[in-house]
Structures are given as structure tokens and as C-alpha cells.
Structure 1
Amino acid sequence: MLDATTPEHRPTHAPEDHPKIKAERVGILLANLGTPDAYTYWPMRRYLNEFLSDRRVIDYSPWKWQPLLQLVILSKRPFASGAAYKSIWNEEIGESPLMTITKAQTAKMQAALRERYGDQVMVDFCMRYGNPSTKSKVREMVDAGCRKILFFPLYPHYAGATSATANDQFFRALMEEKWQPTVRTVDPYFEHPLYIDALAQSIERAYGALDKRPDILVMSYHGMPKRYLMEGDPYHCQCQKTTRLVKERLGWDDTDITTTFQSVFGPEEWLKPYTVDHVADLAREGKTNIAVAAPAFSADCIETLEEINEEIKESFEEAGGKTFTYIPCLNDDDAHIKALSAVIEENMRGWLE
């Protein structure tokens, strides 16, 4: 068992000038997508440039994509995206909701894991894009004596543009370490029983607070180009399975729940049906009272608070919809923290008693 209470020490028989070694700990590094530092033009441009230059996100040839990105998209999009962020910004503490929620999740995870493992573990978070960077947090953990690091992308479902690029950045950070720690990365947890139960509980609470039961629940997942699915990305299948497992856990019929995909970008065909179009179709079919949940997001963010609760809601209402209920992400809900803690403990087997 690791003993994190042991002070810095020199190896046995080492000379006096040998550098001291930190007591060993296990680092648990949570990773989320990221957020701009502010919603003004230049912070937005830096954030979007990093995000949209990622070949995992946009895999077009750079010599074609970069001129379009730098000369056209990044001259206009920071204004539109900045306005969207401003509409949801946590002005009181000067950060996006994703940052606020991720900090709260991390604090609860620290408390839960400290209760079990004491000072043997160090829990922190990083962002794939923006701050705090993956590189900076890996450096902090290594400096703190973490000889083992469990890297946990907070995406229930695997996708090349989410889990894989987070892992890529983690391994890039490790390339700069003189003494690399032993590492593990966490598998997607889209079918973990505690995650499914946490989703089901959140839906039951939301439905229980309504005067009238919605006609249907729309499970809206972040989209991706259909081409990625055809090239072997498992994301689509994992999303469909989450919906099915939640439906079974709730004891619902097929007509009570449906799967859609949002956040379409660019000229390609993406995974269908598109949420923004499908909710309008539901309204025109007479389903004027709907609820929408976003199981692919571990924390509420621009795609849920602005896109779902504003743009998608507007599409529904313009088509004749009357009651639109957004069910928040699991965020720092206790059932969610319990599920994430269980995933961490399962992935640390053999590392700690």
C-alpha cells in the first residue's frame, strides 16, 4: 500500500546530493472538453482555434481547412459563439457553467475518494481545450509524487472527437515527463448500471415535478458526421444502447422515448435524426408537450444550456409545441458522483488496497 504521509526522502544508499523523492500517490485526473476564458473576441478566437484545429474534430486536410478556418470562420464565429456564451455565463465568478460544474464535481470526487483512500490519492481536473491544460495538471501530479495516474475523460460514450482526443493530449503531456508515471485510461461508461440508474433517477425526478406527463422524452446526444460511424467509431451504437437501457430501467415503451443528435456543423451528413428538426416534427405530429435530456454530457454546457434550452426549444415552439422541459445533465448530483466514483475504483484495481 502507498504511504502518502511519508515525507520526501532520498533512496537508500544514495549520496547526499541525490535529489529527494516525493512519497508516492495515485493521481486521478478528470478531463472535460474545455471552455474559453471569457466570451469576448480574442479569448473566444483562441479557444475555437484550438478546438477546430484538432484533427480528431475536423479531419479535413489542413491545407484546405486551415485557410478557411483562419481567414473566414475565426473572423466571424467568435462573435456568434461569444454571444451564446454570454447568455449563459456565470458573471458572478467570471466563468462558464461547464467550469463551475466541473469544479463542483471534482470537489465531491475528492471528498468521496479521500474518505476511502485518504492521502493516497490526488484528484484534479483538466480541460482538453483551454485552461487548466492537460499538460499543466500532469506536471502538477508528477511533482506531487503521483507515480500512477488514472486519466478519466468525462464522456460516457467513446468518440474519436471526445475521448480519443483527450487521451491523445494526455499522452502528449507524458512525452515531456523525464520520469513517466504508470498510467491507465478509463473506458466509456455508457452502460454502467450506476450511470444508467443516475440518469433514470434524474428523469423520474423531473417527471415527478411536472403537472402533466410529457408526450415523449427526447434523448439528444451530441452529433458527429455519419462518415465517422461508417469508418468504425462506436459512438452511435453506444448512444442507442444508453437510450435502450434507460428505457428498460424506467419500464417504458418504445413510444415514450427517442434518440436524436444535435450540434450539426459543416456540409456533411451527420447522425440522424437531427434534434432541432425532430422536435419540430414532433410538434407538428401533435406531441406538443415534450421533455429533452442530454445523456452524452457529464455537465451542462453551451450545447445544453444555450443550444437545447434556447435554439432547439425555439424550433419546437415555432412548429406549434407548447411545453418544453429540459432535464439538466447529471452534473454534481450525488447519484452521478457515486457512479463516477465506482468507475474510478473499478479502474484502480490493483493500485490501492
Structure 2
Amino acid sequence: MALRNPISHVCKHALSSSSSRASAVSHFVCSRQSMPRRRAMATVVPPVTQDATSSKGPTAMVFMNMGGPSTTDEVGDFLSRLFADADLIPLGRLQSYLGPLISRRRTPKIQKQYAAIGGGSPIRKWSEYQSSEMCKILDQISPETAPHKPYVAFRYANPLTEDMYAQLLKDGFGGGKGGRAVAFTQYPQYSCSTTGSSLNELWKWRTRLEGKGSNTDPSGSITWSVIDRWPVHPGLVEAFAQNIEAQLATYTPETRKDVVLLFSAHSLPMSVVNRGDTYPAEVAATVYNVMQRLKFSNPYRLCWQSQVGPSAWLGAQTSDTVQEYVKKGQTDLVLIPIAFTSDHIETLYELDQEVIHEAGHPGVKRAESLNGNRVFIEALADIAFKHLQSGESCSRQMGLRCQGCKSERCLESKRFFVGQENLLAVR
């Protein structure tokens, strides 16, 4: 079922200026936080073309994420791409040999895991739904950049970045016609292994499909900007906080205040952390802001999940943390997937069917994922609206490389996206 139009109660004259539109966005996030959430399936959105009329539109809004196989048959290709990506899993000079070897050996096991959660990842369904609903809001609050066309680009699963870019060109963006696109990372906290890898892939396909071009001569190619991180946005924080409060309400009033909140995020190899990656600090910032919103009502810890391989990874591991607390008699625990914007294998299988099941205690539970959370979707619209109004091509942070970065591809990618601000200024 489609969700009710979230802005039907806002007067049209409230959209007549930038200041009033910004107030309207804030009003959506604040006024609807207490409304009940309903699940909905992705809707089909008709394509837009460059002959659509508005002062600065149309605008392509590209949701970027790791992605996941939608069927068990796609698992092998998904793992092959994942283990071939040195930005995510650095295997050194033997990457081209070890990557395929590891992916082949893990495919049968991972296929069973996806079969156990329904035969595939729901991340595509939720990504398409979230982007579509966000664009509906943007069409109302930012008419000068409308219509807003939702796209999804996954790093390791369909729809792949190159397929998304080909669809952009087919829909009339670029290819001599110009147009604007926003790469909106769905990793709220920046990491070179996630956001960085996705943007490097986008830059690669931009170069292949539209040429190297120039940041001073648009020559009819797409003008890109990037929303590269948003770890402490108030709407993101509010959505997490409401989901935590809903799970805490399932405990008795006598035990509720002693429930331990375990925020869980995907781990990183320590080689990436020691290089200077900002991800651990940004995840911690999200956690602290959520706890501030909750008025530090409960004890809490941050832990890390999904370690792969024998090398050192950032810890403490989520599975070990839960087991140790249960052994010590702390059996009321709420797991919160703090770095994910929807359900996928790490929540539905790793947390629900491994960590919680192995804990063997009914007091160990998980907060609901963001999925179709209306507060979250309105937060996405607010982030996108402010980005479109800012005239910036990316954050100031994105232009600064990690202290130990040696990647020339990363350098060229960052130069490209930072330099796109020259083109935004003349749009």
C-alpha cells in the first residue's frame, strides 16, 4: 500500500521561497515523528528526460550502496565483485588470485544464508522505495530542481553502477544534453571502503561513458555532486531513537532502564582504520547523538560485526560482546544496526539468526531497521534539499585524503567531484 502524501497538509504558498521551503522540511520531520509507520512496496516511477521544464531540473537522485543479491543465483557474482574490491577487502598483491578463490569457497555457505532469509536480500526493494518516496517530497519542496528522478546504483549487485549510468544516458541526462545528478550515499558514515569505493566506481564509469571531460568545460556531460556523509542528521538520529524506544517498551518497567543498548556497525580491517579512515569516528558520532536524544537513559556500547578472514579487524565483535554479557548475567540487550539504512543479510541473518539465536535468551532483541520509516525518509528529503540549495559539490571532508592513502584512483576521483563545484556555480 502506498503511503499517504506527507506534504498534503502544507499550504502551497509555503513553497514560494527557499527559507519557507527549509522551514517546511523541518516541519515534516518534527510534526510526523509520532505518526505510526507502515510498510510499503517499491513503486514504479516513470522516467524523466532532459526536455522537462523547470529552472534547474530535472535532477537525477542516485542512491549508492553496497547492495545484495536479490536471489540465491546472484550470490556467486555478488561475492566475486565484493572480494575483488581492494577498497573494501584489501588482500594485497594476491587480490586477483585470493578474491576469486575466497568467493568460490564461500558461495554455497552464503547461498544458504540468503535462502534462510527468504531467498535474497531486500535491500533493493527498500532502496527503490526510499529513493522514490524521497523524490516525491523533493518535487514539492524544491520545484526549481524538479522533477527528481530516483535511481539506485549498487557496488556489487544489480543494478550495478554501470547499468545505472547507462540508464541515465538513456533517460536524456548527459550525452551532450547536460543535466544534473546527485550521488547520495546510503552509508550515513563515510568510509573509503564503502562510500569511497562507490564513488571511485562512479567516477570510473563516468570517465568511460562520457570521457574524462573537464571541470571547467561541461561539454554536455552530466554535472555531478555528492552527499558523501550525514552521520548526525537530526532526522536520522530521531528515526533510530524512536525504533530503540519502541523495543525498550517491550521490557517490563522494572527492568527497562537497565537494558544495555548495543550499537552494531560493520567492522573494518585494522589496516584501513590505521590508514586514517574516518568511519569509526563518524559511527561513534551517530551513537553519541542518538544517546543524547535518549537522554542517556540506558547503558550502551558500540561493537562491530561481519569480520571476514584472519587479518585483524576493528572490535569488539558483536557476537563476542553478546556472548560475554550473557555469561556475566546481563541478559537484557537490544542490538541496534547503527550503520545500515535497511534490512539485509547482516541484520536478518547475522544478527537475528546467529547472534540473537546463539545468545539463547529472550531478553536479547533487535531494534527495527529503518526500512520504510517515515521519519527517516523525510530526513533523506531534508538532506537532499539542503544539498541542492547549497551549491556545493561535496563536503569539505571529502576533499581530504586519509593520512596514509596511496591510491591514485582515490586522488583522481576526489579531484573530479570536488572540481564539479565550478560547474554548479554556472547552472
TM normalised by structure 1 equals 0.85
1:65 to 88, 95, 98: 95
Give the number of equivalent residue pairs: 326
Deviations 1:281-312 (A, max 9, x none): 11112111111010100111001110011111
Tell me which residue corresponds to 1:188.
Answer: 229
d(CA) in 2 for partners of 1:8 and 1:334? 29
TM-aligned CA deviation for residue 143 of structure 1: 3.5
Q: CA RMSD in A?
A: 2.5
Deviations 1:129-185 (A, max 9, x none): 121121222232233344111101100101111100111111112111254211111
Alignment gaps of 5+ in structure 1: 10-22
Tell me which residue corresponds to 1:240.
Answer: 284
- Determine whether 1:174 maps to 2:206: yes
Higher strand proportion: 1
TM-aligned CA deviation for residue 331 of structure 1: 1.3
- Determine whether 1:34 maps to 2:67: yes
Tell me which residue corresponds to 1:102.
Answer: 127
d(CA) in 2 for partners of 1:55 and 1:197? 34
Deviations 1:16-54 (A, max 9, x none): xxxxxxx952111111211224213xx321110011101
Instruction: Decide whether the 8 Å contact of 1:39 with 1:86 is kept in 2.
Output: yes
d(CA) in 1 for partners of 2:50 and 2:320? 59
1:66 partner letter? S
d(CA) in 2 for partners of 1:219 and 1:287? 16
Give the 5 Å matches for 1:142-291: 142-146=169-173, 147-175=179-207, 176-177=209-210, 179-211=220-252, 213=256, 215-252=259-296, 256-291=299-334
Alignment gaps of 5+ in structure 2: 1-47, 174-178, 212-219, 392-423
Helix, strand or coil for the counterpart of 1:112?
A: helix
d(CA) in 1 for partners of 2:222 and 2:239? 33
Tell me which residue corresponds to 1:345.
Answer: 385
Deviations 1:171-201 (A, max 9, x none): 1121112542111111311111221111111
Tell me which residue corresponds to 1:301.
Answer: 344
Instruction: Decide whether the 8 Å contact of 1:108 with 1:332 is kept in 2.
Output: no
Helix, strand or coil for the counterpart of 2:371?
A: coil
Q: Residues 267 and 7 of structure 1: is their aligned pair in 2 closer, same or farther, counting only changes over 3 Å?
A: closer
Helix, strand or coil for the counterpart of 1:348?
A: helix
Instruction: Decide whether the 8 Å contact of 1:88 with 1:97 is kept in 2.
Output: no
Instruction: Decide whether the 8 Å contact of 1:291 with 1:327 is kept in 2.
Output: yes
Instruction: Decide whether the 8 Å contact of 2:84 with 2:100 is kept in 1.
Output: no
d(CA) in 1 for partners of 2:329 and 2:52? 68
d(CA) in 2 for partners of 1:8 and 1:69? 45
1:140 to 142, 167, 178: 167
